[in-house]
């Protein structure tokens, strides 16, 4: 009986492998790993309809947007839908106090009004290939790890080179499961991507940082771009002669509505997850790294907020930077809360216990976990120093950051080398961008405050001597930087205009440059080498750990996100965040009015939207319940980079636009929990309503293909 029971139990565990909703799956493996499961959950398509290299498939409608978000093609004229927060940098760069598209939105009423965005790209995946054998086969197992890595790198470079020579395509190869497997992605990148439309921030960012990472949500987080190509439909630099791109596939848009339990999939470019971390790693993130990073950002945000509220110019200059800093500040708070509540450390310990039990007596795994633990103890000091360096001088002291941009031309000049045109142009662009979005008083105050945090939090050997013995205050930092060229726009431009050996020497003596050098050198000498060495060891050990888990411990194993194309699937679903609290799976426009507060920038609304909502003037975008749905939650495993990803139903039609996760669920990057983790999307009908009814840009909706598979049963009557 006992034997029989344990057989049943292990069958149940093993069968779990194929019925999971957790995971970000590789499109080319859907056929072998997920197709049956997906179809049993409601997918009406085949794996080939989602990913194929022989016929057009859903993948041909998905782009990596700028390398940091996802976008999808929704018309036969290359129209891209992505998030407002993904296009935010572009919307901001076209904005000024006079033409404030952040506040008012922007809608191109014809192709000639679509705005170019130098540097912005849209990248398709042409195909992917398992190249594990080519990369790993025959590598001498006796090789030292560093030599092994060297050999692997060489093979990767050769294979990429071989694949892309004489071709218009690009390619990259990434390790999966810590280097147990390798896949190659062949890409086609377009670099004429124009801004077509963006709602006012009061719609696209409604709820602001208050609602960010939270449910219930009412954000119309979308913007529209368009890919332009040359006459042969090939990528080309911006030119007036370019024409809208004709895609191999574009997503039809479902007007049928969404019900709890509906099958959903999210197709996109998730950035980074670490699902196979050990308990030691989780503990370090939760108890050492996150708390300090949260405190540093809280301090910076408070100062930024003060300056932004005091000046419209500063508000626009820092809008994008503020949003970026605030985003992960809040995410880490949620992540720590989720890890605590889920008892994540003990869950990982359970996995370690199962690992030890399953691999008992196997030489390869003996002592492995102890070795990993040792490395985490050793890396802690460097990991913390690294995050202080990144969070403080590297990212938030903007004058230092600018000074650092001069390092390489100074070195070249001193060596008597010629500086090429390209380097100059790049530097000038960076400097111009810095000056456009820079406020001296804000930077002085943040820098002074964060130097203080740095000195409090860092071991003395990581503190630059210039600030070590000084009582650091705003007064100190102002005085210290007063004579620097980096406090003055004129002086900076003067530097660029007639550069010389003398200038190079002068900058080297500049106080801001000197402080920057000390920070950067300390990091390069005292932190980075040790951090990288231990971190590489952890990766090598993790490779063995993950292999051991996959081969010996039943479970669902999917590769961590690494900015490559993935498909997550699940269903429209609600959740219970706390005892006694049950959230609905969708919101509607009534909630927008409930939150409306003209005194609070996060919840202010354009009068026109209030009017449309009050009149219930929703047109064909209303749900069959008569209301206009705004956002919904589903159990798709997503992460940063999935923003802008399409949420697709079982017929391959677009039902929503992914943009966020619930706060309790942000831990999903390191500990996914099917009961707690939800992705948050805008209902596609709300997007279309804003484009059509709010912005009167119905010509854009006319470009799209709207489909309705189920006739509405009943339409609620309005009096």
Residues lying near ligand ARG in the complex (CB under 6 A) = 85, 205, 208-209, 212-213, 323, 326-327, 640, 643, 659-660
Which region among 197-205, 385-393, 602-610, 653-661 touches ligand ASP (by CB under 6 A)? Answer: 653-661
- Residues 476, 448 contacting (CB under 8 angstroms): yes
Which region among 99-107, 348-356, 659-667, 697-705 touches ligand ASP (by CB under 6 A)? Answer: 659-667
Between 207 and 257, CB nearer to ligand ARG = 207
* Residue 323 partner contact from ligand ARG, ligand ASP, none using kind-dependent CB cut-offs of 5 to 8 Å: ligand ARG
* Residue 642 partner contact from ligand ASP, ligand ARG, none using kind-dependent CB cut-offs of 5 to 8 Å: ligand ASP
* Residue 208 partner contact from ligand ARG, ligand ASP, none using kind-dependent CB cut-offs of 5 to 8 Å: ligand ARG
| Active site positions, annotated | 85, 221, 643
DSSP annotation of 669 reads G
Among residue numbers 64 through 83, which ones bind ligand ASP (CB under 6 A)?
A: 69
Which region among 244-252, 370-378, 482-490, 641-649 touches ligand ASP (by CB under 6 A)? Answer: 641-649
Q: Is the dihedral of CA 545, 548, 553, 556 positive or negative?
A: positive
Between 85 and 566, CB nearer to ligand ARG = 85
Between 66 and 652, CB nearer to ligand ASP = 66
Which of 200, 24, 22 minimizes the C-alpha distance to 640?
24
Among the listed residues 187, 484, 639, 649, the single contact to ligand ASP using CB under 6 A: 639
Q: Vertex 67, ends 685 and 337: CA angle to 5°?
A: 70
Q: How far apart are CA 667 and CA 285, in angstroms?
A: 11
Question: In angstroms, what CA-CA distances link 343 with 214, 279, 285, 291?
Answer: 21, 11, 14, 17
Q: Is the peptide bond before 216 cis (omega within 30 degrees of 0)?
A: yes
Question: In angstroms, what CA-CA distances link 565 with 125, 177, 184?
Answer: 8, 15, 11
Does 223 help bind ligand ASP (rule: CB under 6 A)?
no
Among the listed residues 661, 678, 685, 693, the single contact to ligand ASP using CB under 6 A: 661
Which of 256, 373, 258 minimizes the C-alpha distance to 681?
258
For residue 327, the minimal CB distance to ligand ARG (Å) is 4
Alpha-helix runs per DSSP H in 311-406: 312-342, 344-358, 368-389, 395-396, 398-404
Does 221 help bind ligand ASP (rule: CB under 6 A)?
no
Q: Which helix (H) or strand (E) holds 1?
A: none
For residue 668, the minimal CB distance to ligand ASP (Å) is 8
In angstroms, how far is the first alpha carbon of the chain from the final one? 66
Among the listed residues 49, 72, 573, 660, the single contact to ligand ASP using CB under 6 A: 660
> C-alpha 528: how far from its chain's center?
24
Between 210 and 411, CB nearer to ligand ARG = 210
| CB burial of residue 396 (10 Å; 0-12, 13-18, 19+) | buried
Among the listed residues 242, 336, 587, 642, the single contact to ligand ASP using CB under 6 A: 642
Among the listed residues 95, 121, 484, 638, the single contact to ligand ASP using CB under 6 A: 638
Q: How far apart are CA 82 and CA 225, in angstroms?
A: 8
Among residue numbers 200 through 219, which ones bind ligand ASP (CB under 6 A)?
A: none
* Residue 618 partner contact from ligand ASP, ligand ARG, none using kind-dependent CB cut-offs of 5 to 8 Å: none
* Residue 67 partner contact from ligand ASP, ligand ARG, none using kind-dependent CB cut-offs of 5 to 8 Å: none
634 forms beta bridges with: 572, 679
The two structure tokens encoding residue 575: 């959740």
Between 326 and 676, CB nearer to ligand ARG = 326
Does 542 help bind ligand ASP (rule: CB under 6 A)?
no
Binding residues (CB under 6 A) for ligand ASP: these are 69, 638-643, 659-661
């Amino acid at each position: 009986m006992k034997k029989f029971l344990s057989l049943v139990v292990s069958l149940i565990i093993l069968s779990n492998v194929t019925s999971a909703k957790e995971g970000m799956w590789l499109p080319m493996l859907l056929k072998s790993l997920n197709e049956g499961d997906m179809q049993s959950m409601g997918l009406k398509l085949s794996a080939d309809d989602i990913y194929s290299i022989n016929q057009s498939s859903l993948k041909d409608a998905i782009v990596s947007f700028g390398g940091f978000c996802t976008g999808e093609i929704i018309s036969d004229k290359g129209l891209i839908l992505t998030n407002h927060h993904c296009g935010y940098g572009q919307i901001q760069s076209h904005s000024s106090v006079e033409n404030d598209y952040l506040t008012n939105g922007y809608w191109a009423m014809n192709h000639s009004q679509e705005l170019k965005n130098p540097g912005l790209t849209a990248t398709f995946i042409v195909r992917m290939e398992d190249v594990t054998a080519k990369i790993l086969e025959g590598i001498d197992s006796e090789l030292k790890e560093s030599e092994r890595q060297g050999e692997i790198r060489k093979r990767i470079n050769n294979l990429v080179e071989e694949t892309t020579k004489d071709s218009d395509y690009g390619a990259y190869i990434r390790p999966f499961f810590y280097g147990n497997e390798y896949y190659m992605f062949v890409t086609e990148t377009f670099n004429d991507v124009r801004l077509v439309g963006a709602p006012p921030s009061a719609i696209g960012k409604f709820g602001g940082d208050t609602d960010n990472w939270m449910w219930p949500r009412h954000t119309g987080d979308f913007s529209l771009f368009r890919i332009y190509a040359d006459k042969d439909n090939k990528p080309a630099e911006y030119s007036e002669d370019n024409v809208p791109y004709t895609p191999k596939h574009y997503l039809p848009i479902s007007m049928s509505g969404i019900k709890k339990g509906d099958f959903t999939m999210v197709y996109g470019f998730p950035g980074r997850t670490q699902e196979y971390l050990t308990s030691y790693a989780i503990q370090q993130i939760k108890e050492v790294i996150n708390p300090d990073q949260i405190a540093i950002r809280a301090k910076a945000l408070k100062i930024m907020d003060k300056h932004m509220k005091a000046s419209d110019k500063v508000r626009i200059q820092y809008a994008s930077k503020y949003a970026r800093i605030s985003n992960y500040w809040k995410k880490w708070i949620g992540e720590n809360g989720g890890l605590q509540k889920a008892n994540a450390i003990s869950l990982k310990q359970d996995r370690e216990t199962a690992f030890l039990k399953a691999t008992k007596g196997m030489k390869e795994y003996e002592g492995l976990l102890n070795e990993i633990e040792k490395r985490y103890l050793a890396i802690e000091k460097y990991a913390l120093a690294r995050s202080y360096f990144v969070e403080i001088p590297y990212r938030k002291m903007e004058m230092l950051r600018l000074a650092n941009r001069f390092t390489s031309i100074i070195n070249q000049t001193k060596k008597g080398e010629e500086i090429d045109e390209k380097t100059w142009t790049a530097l000038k662009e960076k400097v111009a961008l810095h000056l456009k979005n820079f406020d001296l008083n804000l930077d002085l105050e943040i820098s002074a405050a964060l130097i203080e945090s740095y000195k409090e939090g860092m071991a003395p050997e990581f503190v630059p001597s210039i600030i070590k013995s000084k009582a650091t205050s705003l007064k100190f930092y102002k005085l210290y930087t007063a004579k620097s060229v980096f406090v003055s726009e004129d002086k900076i431009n003067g530097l660029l205009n007639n550069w010389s050996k003398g200038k190079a020497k002068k900058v080297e003596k500049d106080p801001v440059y000197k402080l920057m050098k000390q920070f950067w050198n300390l990091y390069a000498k005292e932190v980075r080498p040790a951090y990288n060495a231990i971190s590489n060891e952890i990766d090598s050990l993790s490779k063995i750990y993950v292999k051991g888990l996959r081969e010996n411990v039943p479970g669902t194993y999917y590769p961590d996100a690494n900015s490559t194309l993935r498909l997550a699937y699940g269903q429209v679903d609600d959740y219970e965040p706390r005892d006694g609290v049950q959230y609905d799976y969708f919101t509607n426009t009534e909630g927008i009015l409930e939150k409306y507060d003209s005194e609070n920038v996060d919840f202010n609304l354009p009068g026109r939207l209030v009017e449309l909502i009050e009149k219930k003037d929703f047109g064909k975008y209303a749900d069959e319940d008569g209301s206009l749905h705004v956002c919904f939650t589903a159990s798709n495993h997503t992460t940063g980079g999935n923003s802008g990803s399409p949420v697709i139903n079982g017929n391959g039609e677009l039902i929503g636009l992914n943009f966020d996760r619930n706060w309790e669920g942000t831990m999903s990057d390191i500990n996914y929990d099917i009961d707690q983790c939800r992705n948050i999307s805008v209902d596609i009908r709300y997007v279309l309503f804003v484009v059509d009814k709010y912005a009167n840009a119905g010509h854009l909706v006319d470009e799209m293909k709207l489909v309705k598979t189920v006739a509405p049963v009943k339409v609620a009557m309005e009096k």
